[in-house]
Structure 1
Amino acid sequence: MIVRIMGEGQVRLDDSHFPKLNELDDELMAEVEQDDKEGFRRTLAALLDAVRTMGAPLPDDALEPSELILPAPDATIEQVRAMLSDDGLIPDEYPAKS
């Protein structure tokens, strides 16, 4: 799966990493709902770091469609709130089952 971090680029992630990413996403969503800015900042950084660490960056000139788009590291809680769906940033059905 291809994931874009806004302002940084794209990363290819193996589906096996999504349970951990969904845990962080659930934590982030709860912090946004509670307006916990300190927890939000910490968890957003952890989520993006996990994507960078577990994934393989694509070359800057790659033109792959992104299946997920995550906010930039400096995104505000309000910007992330606008991006959230009922499932958070990462829908619970990801990776899609075939």
Structure 2
Amino acid sequence: MIVRIMEEGQRRIADSALPRLEELDEALLAAVEKGDEQAFRTTFGALLAAIRELGEPLPDDSLEPSDLILPEEGASLEEVRGLLTEDGLLPN
């Protein structure tokens, strides 16, 4: 899977990393549904950190299509809510 974090570029995520990202995605979905700003901030930050840690950065000139595009770290709960599906952020 290719994930783009706005203002940071793209990262290739191995299938073996997906369970960790899915766990964070579920927690993020729950926080957004509850409107819990603190849980949202913590979980969204953890999701972005996991993507940075587990993903292999792609070159800036890479033209790979992104499977998922995420806003930068300072995004609001409402911005992320607009990106969610009933299953969360990660594509199935």
TM over 0.5: yes
**Alignment match, 2:88:** 88
Supply the distance in 2 between the matched residues of 1:42 and 1:3 (Cα, whole angstroms): 20
- Alignment partner of 2:32: what SS? helix
Supply the distance in 2 between the matched residues of 1:71 and 1:18 (Cα, whole angstroms): 19
Q: How big is the shift at 1:61?
A: 1.2
- Alignment partner of 2:82: what SS? helix
Q: How big is the shift at 1:71?
A: 2.3
Supply the distance in 2 between the matched residues of 1:59 and 1:7 (Cα, whole angstroms): 14
Return the TM-score normalized by structure 1: 0.89
Identity of aligned residues (%): 58
Q: CA RMSD in A?
A: 0.9
Ranges in structure 2 where 5+ consecutive residues have no aligned partner? none
**Alignment match, 1:28:** 28
**Alignment match, 1:11:** 11
* CA deviation string 1:49-83 (max 9, x = no partner): 00000011111111111111222111100000000
Once superposed, which parts of structure 1, at least 4 consecutive aligned residues long, lie more than 2 Å away? none
Ranges in structure 1 where 5+ consecutive residues have no aligned partner? 94-98
Supply the distance in 2 between the matched residues of 1:84 and 1:67 (Cα, whole angstroms): 14
Supply the distance in 1 between the matched residues of 2:46 and 2:21 (Cα, whole angstroms): 9
Supply the distance in 2 between the matched residues of 1:68 and 1:87 (Cα, whole angstroms): 13
**How many residues in Structure 1 have an aligned counterpart in Structure 2?**
92
Read off the aligned partner of 1:73 and give its amino acid letter. E
